[in-house]
């Protein structure tokens, strides 16, 4: 019980007023609009846990991985229904295990003064390697998804490959992850708007990714400020 209290205290420490307001506002928007559109329970819970995950990630809190694990499973179900095979595979094969890796890696690099993870930056060489790999991977995976008759294969591929590398940078605690997350969020919003129009997706998912985008912009500025000038290799 004492251990649980210690964990909860750590996760609730160091929040600024605007961060708390943002978390509650995002939650309220998801709930309100989802209920209005009569979205599925799976879609709503996936959206809520996803929102809490990305806000907590931006805050540098370990609990982001707890909510991320729940979101990963539920979002894979939603993506399956929309036939976004790349998203399904990304979540079940990649995100699910890397959530546990990220939890372990972050737990070893927490700042005891702020109760947030210590933030880093890539070297110039690391940045070139990372972004170059993203470009090549997007083309190759898009071709594979096209052969599988997936929905919007190259858009789906871009979302998937960028997400893979963004998650790696997240685990490595690199500020540059947010550059990729912003691009991922823009592309994925387009994907789910398309799915909603074609009645294979729900509004909760569209809203979730829209809030992801706003959050990524906020957190990019936060991590840019908080990250050390010391760098890490790719």
- Got the DSSP string for 43-78? HHHHHHHHHHHHHHHHHT-THHHHHHHHHHHHHHHH
Question: Mean per-residue pLDDT for 199-224?
Answer: 90
CA 225 to chain centre: 20
Band (70; pLDDT cuts 50, 70, 90): very high
Look at 186 and 4; give whichever has higher pLDDT: 186
Query: How high is the pLDDT of residue 200?
Result: 83
Judged against a pLDDT cut of 60, whether residue 129 lies above it is answered with yes
pTM of the model: 0.85
Query: How high is the pLDDT of residue 145?
Result: 86
In the chain, the number of structural domains is 1
Query: How high is the pLDDT of residue 34?
Result: 84
pLDDT tens per residue, range 3-21: 777 777 788 888 989 999 9
CA 184 to chain centre: 9
Residue at token pair 């840019």: 224
Judged against a pLDDT cut of 60, whether residue 232 lies above it is answered with no
Question: Mean per-residue pLDDT for 34-49?
Answer: 88
What share of the chain has pLDDT > 90, as a percent?
55
Look at 35 and 101; give whichever has higher pLDDT: 101
pLDDT tens per residue, range 85-101: 878 988 999 999 999 99
3-class state of residue 225 by DSSP: helix
Among 99, 37, 115, CA closest to 66: 99
Backbone φ and ψ of 233, nearest 5°: -80, 150
Query: How high is the pLDDT of residue 24?
Result: 94
Question: Mean per-residue pLDDT for 114-139?
Answer: 91
What share of the chain has pLDDT > 70, as a percent?
96
Which residue range(s) make up the domain with 206?
2-232
Mean pLDDT computed over every residue of the chain: 89
Query: How high is the pLDDT of residue 1?
Result: 66
Question: DSSP alpha helices (H): ranges in the chain?
Answer: 2-11, 17-36, 41-59, 63-81, 85-89, 96-107, 124-147, 153-171, 177-197, 203-226
């Amino acid at each position: 019980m004492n251990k649980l209290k210690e964990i909860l205290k750590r996760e609730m420490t160091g929040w600024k007023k605007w961060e708390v307001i943002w978390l509650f506002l995002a939650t309220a928007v998801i709930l309100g609009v989802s209920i209005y559109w009569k979205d599925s329970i799976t879609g709503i819970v996936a959206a809520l846990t996803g929102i809490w995950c990305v806000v907590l990630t931006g805050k540098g809190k370990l609990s982001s991985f707890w909510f991320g694990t729940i979101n990963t499973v539920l979002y894979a179900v939603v993506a399956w229904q929309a036939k976004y095979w790349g998203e399904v595979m990304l979540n079940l094969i990649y995100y699910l295990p890397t959530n546990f890796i990220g939890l372990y890696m972050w737990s070893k690099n927490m700042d005891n003064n702020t109760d947030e993870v210590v933030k880093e930056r890539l070297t110039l060489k690391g940045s070139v390697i990372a972004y170059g790999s993203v470009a090549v991977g997007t083309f190759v995976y898009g071709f594979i998804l096209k052969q599988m008759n997936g929905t919007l294969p190259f858009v789906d591929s871009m979302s998937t490959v960028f997400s893979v590398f963004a998650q790696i940078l997240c685990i490595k605690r690199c500020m540059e992850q947010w550059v990729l997350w912003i691009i991922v969020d823009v592309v994925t919003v387009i994907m789910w708007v398309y799915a909603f129009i074609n009645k294979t997706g729900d509004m909760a998912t569209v809203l979730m990714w829209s809030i992801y985008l706003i959050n990524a912009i906020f957190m990019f500025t936060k991590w840019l400020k908080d990250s050390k000038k010391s760098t890490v290799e790719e």
